[in-house]
Amino acid sequence: MSRPDRQHSVWGRVPRPAYGADYNPEQWDAATRKDDVRLMREAGVNLVSLGVFAWSWIEPRRDAFDFSGLDEAVELLHASGIAVDLATPTAAPPLWFSHAHPESLPVTADGRRLAPGSRQAYCPSSPLYRERAATVTRRLAERYGDHPAVVMWHVNNEYANGNAHCWCETSATAFRTLLRTTYGDDLDALNHRWGTGVWGMTYSDWSQVTPPRTSTSRLPPALWLDFYRFSDAEHLACFRAERDIVRAHSPGRPVTTNFMASALRWSDYWRWAREVDIVSNDHYLGSEDPHRAAELAFAADLTRGLAGGRPWLLMEHSTSGVQWQPRNIAKVPGEMARNTLTHLARGADGALFFQWRQSAYGPEKWHSAMLPHGGEDTRVLREARDLGNAVSRLADVAGSTCPPATIALLLDYEAMWALELPDRPSSDLTCGDALRTWHRALWTAGLGCDIVAAPAPALDPASAPASGAHRLLLVPSLYALSAATARALEAYAESGGHLVVGPFSGVVDPDDRVHPGPYPGALRDLVGLTVDEYLPLAAGAAVGLDDGSTGNVWAERVVPDAGTEVECRFTDGPAAGGPAVLRRGNVRYLATRPDVPSLLRLLPRWAAQAGCAPAPRGSGDGVEVIRRSGPSGERSWLFAVNHTPSTAHVAATGTDLLSGARTTGVIAVPAGEVAVVEEGGTGPR
């Protein structure tokens, strides 16, 4: 039987499941590099990201390219059968460049130009930077574009991490150019949309328009939002330019850039996802996060959503401690494997670490790696070898997908930017918290979900709206939205979809201007109510609901329209006696933020009412059960991930690919371990 999507796959010759790490041979001598590939092979490494920050290694002085080190590394890896995900090194401009062109360095909002000396030291709008980035990319692509070891390309590294925005003069000029296009060269239109009449800050000439630099007091929120859009577009333009150079010289090899989907908020990854051949993500768990297992599931679900449900790649995670976290807490034995297999369960076709060999010097020497300082006989390397072996047994799973869930959770980056600007009614009301809380409740209740973009107003084939498969669309937080997107949500509900809208949604348009009429302007007809007053709660305060639920952060004084049912009321707090959960047909509105225990009662009930088939992808008892299947469902694999300290019993029939054991009816998954059961069949294979 063939693997699910082998033919014509965008993955080309990328080994799947991919297993490996960032590899930084420039930090090591020749003997060590030889040892590296030997140990990589023993550990089952089949793919490394090479050269991520190696610009000064390959171009030590302007135009003086020296590929000898990289050539040697590529050949060494190739001879050992390890494929290369070759990086353009443009996240780390060399010092010769930054010192020759200080105007390429980023400037902060208060006008400080940052000094060279670390990575990400560039302004994405700098033509000088872009020109040199294009040159080094071209030289790399020409040299290695058809090298058999190079199976994919890794452009830059985590765009907008560390230099998300730049306030320099070059940025100001580029910002103005973009605005002149956006506003049809009409300064009055810009003044109107930004509401500059407030405090008499009306522009009378385009030259007065600058990025939102530190000033005496607040600036127009719409200026911030356009600036965020601008910054994101500039980074994306940098990516596109390099990608197109690579594509021209290296046809048939997928090009990616590593996202930080659950950690960074400055990239509208729905847009970025359309630009990459393979969605790849970096994920660093907070070692002290009490909800680590749920957080893993959130990151993986989000990345799968960005990938439109197709397989994706975990480009980086850690084998153990992470040096930039406050405490470098080690993963417990088995945790690295469990985390890796959780990502695979949720649609990844491979997992790589940062990094292969733990640095002996520099800022990241206390970051874990596959090969620790201690060398060959260390717990982490032993586990990495076992994991390599386990991953290699999942070859048939590659290319399969997680069937669409019946529940979708909506994430809109621009609405998040708008809600998290200063001068909102409550700094506790963040979008990220709401999404994670709802996702965690679903995960705990054992309800799988997909994370989706807001439905596109026009038919935008590239966005990933809730599809027909999604019977229940959850919208925990959507402060800003256009009237057109609101209509798209209406269309979803009219077509029979069930919708749950969280508080303080539909309030402003994409310029942060309050929609006309009573709240929630853009969604008023859809939810069938008006909000008389928004009532933020004091820090740590909670409100009771008459079904026993608890809300926090927020309450609203709501007046239902005729025909809108009040499902439950506040028992105390500033809106005591008033509606807290309302329902109009298949649309619900919440006037507070229910806590997780409350959502745990509410969400399963609403899911059942929406006719969502139980498709477990998480479990309150700490045992996740997730299915991946081939295109026509002829083959399927059940991942059972046991996050608990005791053996779990999971219904499954088939062969556990990791242990080789045949199971009929129920499989016992030991504490902290994972089983991957190829379902079906009648006897041992």
| CA distances (Å), origin 627, targets 442, 624, 634, 637 | 16, 10, 13, 6
Nearest distance in Å: CB 351, ligand GAL: 15
Cβ-based nearer residue to ligand GAL, 322 or 626:
322
Query: How far is 658 from 652, CA to CA, in rounded Å?
Result: 14
Nearest distance in Å: CB 412, ligand GAL: 24
Query: How far is 311 from 349, CA to CA, in rounded Å?
Result: 6
Nearest distance in Å: CB 344, ligand GAL: 20
Cβ-based nearer residue to ligand GAL, 69 or 162:
162
Cβ-based nearer residue to ligand GAL, 261 or 452:
261
Cβ-based nearer residue to ligand GAL, 91 or 650:
91
Nearest distance in Å: CB 213, ligand GAL: 28
Q: Copy the structure tokens of residue 579.
A: 């509606």
Helix (H) or strand (E) holding 222: helix 221-249
Query: How far is 397 from 580, CA to CA, in rounded Å?
Result: 45
Query: Tokens 């002290």 correspond to what residue?
Result: 288
**DSSP-assigned states of every residue in 287-353:** TT-TTHHHHHHHHHHHHHHHTTTS-EEEEE--SS--TTSSS-PPPPTTHHHHHHHHHHHTTEEEEEE
Q: Work out the burial of residue 585: count CB atoms within 10 Å of its CB; fewer than 13 is exposed, 13-18 middle, 19 or more buried.
A: middle
Interface with ligand GAL (CB under 6 A): 157-158, 282, 284, 316, 322, 354, 364, 367
Cα dihedral across residues 677, 680, 682, 685: positive or negative? negative
Cβ-based nearer residue to ligand GAL, 360 or 559:
360
Cβ-based nearer residue to ligand GAL, 321 or 544:
321
Which candidate, 457, 464, 413, places its Cα nearest to that of 435? 413
Q: Copy the structure tokens of residue 455.
A: 């439905």
In the complex, residue closest to ligand GAL by CB: 354
Sequence-distant (6+) residues with CB within 8 A of 646 are: 671
Cβ-based nearer residue to ligand GAL, 46 or 358:
358
Query: How far is 133 from 101, CA to CA, in rounded Å?
Result: 13
With beta carbons less than 8 A apart as the criterion, state whether 53 and 119 touch: yes
**DSSP-assigned states of every residue in 160-187:** TSS-S---SHHHHHHHHHHHHHHTTT-H
Query: How far is 514 from 523, CA to CA, in rounded Å?
Result: 12
Nearest distance in Å: CB 237, ligand GAL: 21
Nearest distance in Å: CB 359, ligand GAL: 10
Nearest distance in Å: CB 147, ligand GAL: 23
| CA distances (Å), origin 450, targets 93, 105, 397, 521, 566 | 38, 39, 20, 27, 28
**DSSP-assigned states of every residue in 398-463:** TT-BPPPPSEEEE--HHHHHHHTSSS-S-TT--HHHHHHHHHHHHHHHT---EEEPPPPSS--TTS
Q: Give the type of residue at 603.
A: L
Cβ-based nearer residue to ligand GAL, 157 or 586:
157
Nearest distance in Å: CB 411, ligand GAL: 21
Q: Copy the structure tokens of residue 327.
A: 């405490």
Active-site residues: which are they? 158, 316
